[in-house]
Amino acid sequence: MAEMLKKEDYNKLKKVANSNNFSLEELTYIYGKESSFGTDLNRKGSSYHGSFQFGKDAIKTLNEAGFSFTLKDAKEDLPKSAQAYIHMTKINNQKFDEFKRQYGIAEGELADYSSTTKNYLLHQQGASGLASILKTISQGVNEQSPQGNYETTRIGLLDIETGERGPVVRKGSTTRNKMIENLTKEQKNYFINTTKTVPEASRYFIQSVDDQLNVVKSKVENNLRKYEKDNDDVGFFFPDNNFISEDIPV
């Protein structure tokens, strides 16, 4: 059976993970989810590119934060793309904390999910996008909106003249469409035709993304175990610097 993850790519990702004290498993799962382990780098009609599917806005954000990264890097350089994902994850988490404050929400809906799922949702939806999804859940349903509402409002933009912050409205269609476009055909059908309220649909979306990542995990976990074992075996037979203790007779 063909390997889902190439050994060469595994070694590149492991080096990046180790040097950045980051999860190798997360890098592997996102690599698999975003580009099918490098076999689908440039999807037709998509404005996102490369092994971790970066777009122009994310590339701009990375450069503004001091991480030099180009569209060419995104398309051709797996190690640098993995580093970019790590840097973008840190940026997104910082922004997410601010958006949660502006929306007046916590992230309790994510409590049952791994940090990998949270980070991937941030990578996919952006910090403001994920915060707005959580807001659609927390605002629930009421007499005025018996099914809930995808439109969300946060306290955000600072008026320079008055020093006051005003409300920022995110269109409901934006939040809903961004969720739908990232679901499989089957999941999309359930989201549209089976869920009854906005909070239910948003919760279903988060669960669906987690399910997608678990599918990737199931496909690649044998590769990860095999490559890790291979590295352990090599390390046993070839110690660092081929050092032989003077206490051992030769």
Confidence label for 1 from pLDDT (cuts 50, 70 and 90): very low
End-to-end Cα spacing for the chain: 43
- Residue 2 domain-assigned (yes or no): no
Domain membership of residue 189 as a residue range = 7-232
**Residues for the chain: how many in total?**
250
Per-residue model confidence as pLDDT tens digits over 36-93: 999 998 877 789 999 999 999 999 999 999 999 999 999 999 999 999 999 999 999 9
* Residue 135 covered by a domain: yes
Domain with residue 129: its CATH number is 1.10.530.10
Instruction: Give the chain's domain count.
Output: 1
CA-to-CA separations, 198 to 100, 121, 137, 176, 191, in angstroms, rounded: 19, 18, 7, 9, 10
pLDDT, tens digit (0-9, with 9 covering 90-100), for 46-62: 899 999 999 999 999 99
Would residue 160 count as lying in a domain? yes
70-74, 81-85, 185-189, 240-244: range with lowest mean pLDDT: 240-244
In a domain, 246, yes or no: no
